[in-house]
Amino acid sequence: MRSKHSAVVVTVGVMGSAVLFAGPAIAARSDPSAGSVGDPRLSGPGIDISVTIPTGWRQLPDQSHPQLPQMVYPDTCSAGVQCASALASVLSTSATSAQTAAEAAEQAVTGQPGIQGATITSQGPTQVAGRNGYYVRFIYSQSNAKLQAETVAVETGPAFSGVIPTSLVFVTVSDLAAAPPASVIDQIVGSAQLTAR
């Protein structure tokens, strides 16, 4: 039963992020004047992990999903999926393992309406910020683009009652003409650091 609950928590969190990127009819609420200036890392309250905001990206504040800090490319985009060609988000939750969290995140993204041709291209254990983690790299299509994505989960604390505090990084890049190179996925994931509490 606990395993199902952890998967649901992870799925709900990542689905919020996936929904924001899954279709042009759903956009993040944002403040057009907000950006990455002065805040070079993507994180937020209650989030145990942060990643670097690369040049050309901007953080989109979303009052309706403060537990899902996200950033988009290009930095001129202030309307979420309506203009983004790439998206990244971070999330902290609990799961039975980093593998369970990463796999649930991938399933949450690829299970969204309108997602087609989802295929896992690689997956396995990894180290993130010196901690045990698990990644799932996958591809999928939408009506207007093909995308590459990766979910990485890292255990951020000790187990308690069968669950482990776990943080996730989700990055997806489209094949649209104005999109950044897919190598930015590795750049963002590689920049992950645990936040001080």
> Please, are residues 154 and 135 in contact by the beta-carbon 8 Å criterion?
no
Give the chain's domains with CATH numbers.
2-194 (3.40.1000.10)
Does 122 or 195 have the greater pLDDT score? 122
Distance CA 178, CA 116 (A): 22
pLDDT per residue as tens digits for the range 149-193: 999 999 998 999 999 999 999 999 999 988 999 999 999 999 999
pLDDT interval class at 5 (50, 70, 90): very low
Does 11 or 80 have the greater pLDDT score? 80
pLDDT per residue as tens digits for the range 69-88: 999 999 998 877 678 899 99
C-alpha torsion sign, points 178, 182, 183, 184: positive
pLDDT interval class at 2 (50, 70, 90): very low
Q: Is residue 45 scored above 90 in pLDDT? A: no
> Please, are residues 152 and 169 in contact by the beta-carbon 8 Å criterion?
yes
Distance CA 65, CA 34 (A): 16
Name the CA radius of gyration of the chain, rounded.
15
160, burial (CB in 10 Å: exposed 0-12, middle 13-18, buried 19+)? exposed
Residue by residue, DSSP assigns 158-189 as --BTTBEEEEEEEEEEE-STTPPPTTHHHHHH
Q: What is the pLDDT of residue 94?
A: 93
Arithmetic mean of pLDDT over the chain: 81
Q: What is the pLDDT of residue 81?
A: 67
Pick the range with the lowest mean pLDDT from 35-39, 94-98, 133-137: 35-39
